[in-house]
Structure 1
Amino acid sequence: MSLVETETRGDAIWLWLNRLERHNALVPALVSDLRSALAYASAAEPVALVLSGRGSSFSTGGDIGGFMDHAGSAEELHAYTEELVGSLHETILDLLAFPAPVLAAVNGPVTGGSAGLMLAADMVAMSETAFVQPYYNQVGFGPDGGWTALLPERIGTSRALAIQYRNTRIGAADAVALGLAECRVPGADLAATIEGWVADFAKGFAQTHRATRQSVWDERRRNGVRERLDQEKTRFLDLVSRQSTLDGMKEFTRKWA
């Protein structure tokens, strides 16, 4: 079973994170499948790209179990982390460079680095039960996925810092108020909302949408994001093999088992 399902719906290509048993938590294989699906979608030139998750969660970020499985030595853990976080960051950059509008249908919780998939979207619709939350200070990780590289630009530095210091849960209504989402809707209406947006896009010139997105996310701006994502990865790698972080992962796993 593919960890990312690709579906064509009218003029849009939908990419579904599909690791239901782990709430679509990120592991290298899933991120690799997502990058492959993005390359396919880019070549197909859809009116829009839509990201969503199967089941009750959008994604709960990096799978703590995956980190624990590779914690036998600092070298092994670093190699695993480099692969996962590095690939996630490349995926975010792929999304920023995507030639068509990128939409996110956020069907449930978005935690940890998976927030980067939402932050890289142009327009976001959230179900009423969805939320965004960092959780980094509950484990000892450094923020990844754009929590420091993208979020401050979206909502302001002070708010971005406060959310991460306090591990604030951002509900759908607050996400709309902060400008992280366009709207919150009942879960049953999520797909129809996105499809309505795609229908609106299809009334205009795709070449204009492409030019608009390329001008906003030009190479210079993407390179700035890359530099900040690289800083996130460096700090994540510095913290991940510390004993305090290993203890934090064990406690987090026990708490949520």
Structure 2
Amino acid sequence: MSALVLVERVGSTAVLRLNRAERHNSLVPELLEALLAALERMEADPDVRAVVLSHAGRSFSTGGDVGAFAAFVPQSAELAQYAQRLLGLLNAAILRLAALRCPVIAAVEGWLTGGSLGLVLACDMTVLGEGTRIAPYYTVVGFSPDGGWTAMLPRLIGVARSRAIQLENATLTASQAVALGLATHLAPAREAEAMALSLAAGLKDKVPGSVAHTRALLRWDADALAAGLERERVAFVAQVTSAEAAAGMRRFLGNGRTG
């Protein structure tokens, strides 16, 4: 089986690519475990001066794999256990990205939905390809927000905007996301990774101590972030085991969605 996270070195930059393209890089425990292992290797390698978080295939990630949730008996203890495990790993990956010793730049194309947003929000900078679309999907599928949609997004774009986007299930274009402050850079379609690599290469010429202090002073508060993500995990597990979530998953998958 192919590795779920591909690692490539480009000079002093490490490129980590989510590699579950046949499922739109939707999140499952095995992928998140592979991402955490790769991040631990980057943390321990002093030759890595920056990390680019990218993806194989057309889309960065469509969040949690709804098909994987739907494979369990609705409202069962096994479904709750799976959700606990998945969100525990997702939250750990978000916290690891946010605390990594070197800068992390996300390169995003295609769709970015659901809990995968948190992996992007945890990065220092984010480059969106022109065709990128961002949407929550929680109120459509019947899930509760996870991946920082309540714990991180309001700090970047405000509570009112965050609430409206999620309740309406609004889809943001790449240019809208940059204008709101959800992302930092806009690239031509299919050039997000190239721009992210260029930004990473520029960082290695900056004074290391200044970079480190800048990132430390602007870093997410680890305790507050962990607490917010934990609140999301508890609410998600409660909602995913409800009858309306079971109906929502059937409806979502019945409409031909695969992520």
Q: State the TM bucket, normalised to the shorter chain.
A: over 0.9
**1:195-214 aligned within 5 A:** 195-214=197-216
Residue 178 of structure 2 aligns to which amino acid in structure 1?
V
Alignment match, 2:231: 231
In the superposition, the TM-score normalised over structure 1's length comes to 0.96
**1:1-257 aligned within 5 A:** 1-45=2-46, 46-71=48-73, 74-217=76-219, 221-257=221-257
Deviation for aligned residue 1:191 = 2.6
In the superposition, the TM-score normalised over structure 2's length comes to 0.95
Larger CA deviation: 93-102 vs 206-215: 206-215
Q: Distance in 2 between matches of 1:102 and 1:183?
A: 14
Q: Deviations over 1:163-195 (max 9, x none)?
A: 001001011010110011222222343232112
Backbone CA RMSD of aligned residues: 1.3
Q: Distance in 2 between matches of 1:29 and 1:189?
A: 28
Q: Distance in 1 between matches of 2:142 and 2:75?
A: 18
Q: Distance in 1 between matches of 2:192 and 2:88?
A: 31
Deviation for aligned residue 1:72 = 5.5
Deviation for aligned residue 1:9 = 0.9
Runs of 4 or more, structure 1, over 6 Å off, are none
Residue 253 of structure 1 aligns to which amino acid in structure 2?
L
Question: How many equivalent pairs are there?
Answer: 255
Q: Deviations over 1:79-128 (max 9, x none)?
A: 00000011101110001110111100002210000000111111111111
Q: Distance in 1 between matches of 2:222 and 2:144?
A: 21
Which runs of 5 or more residues in structure 2 are unaligned?
none
Q: Distance in 1 between matches of 2:141 and 2:38?
A: 31
Deviation for aligned residue 1:17 = 0.3
SS in 1 for 2:51: strand
Percent identity reads 40
Contact 2:157 2:180 survives alignment (8 Å): yes
Q: Distance in 2 between matches of 1:191 and 1:96?
A: 20
Larger RCO of the pair (alpha carbons < 8 Å, separation 6+): 2
Contact 1:99 1:213 survives alignment (8 Å): no
Q: Distance in 1 between matches of 2:42 and 2:142?
A: 36
Residue 253 of structure 2 aligns to which amino acid in structure 1?
T
SS in 2 for 1:62: coil
Which runs of 5 or more residues in structure 1 are unaligned?
none
SS in 2 for 1:187: coil
Q: Distance in 1 between matches of 2:201 and 2:27?
A: 31
Deviation for aligned residue 1:70 = 2.3
The 1:72/1:160 distance shift into structure 2, 3 A limit, reads closer
Deviation for aligned residue 1:73 = 5.5
Deviation for aligned residue 1:157 = 0.5
Larger CA deviation: 45-54 vs 244-253: 45-54
Q: Distance in 1 between matches of 2:139 and 2:125?
A: 28
Contact 1:99 1:214 survives alignment (8 Å): no
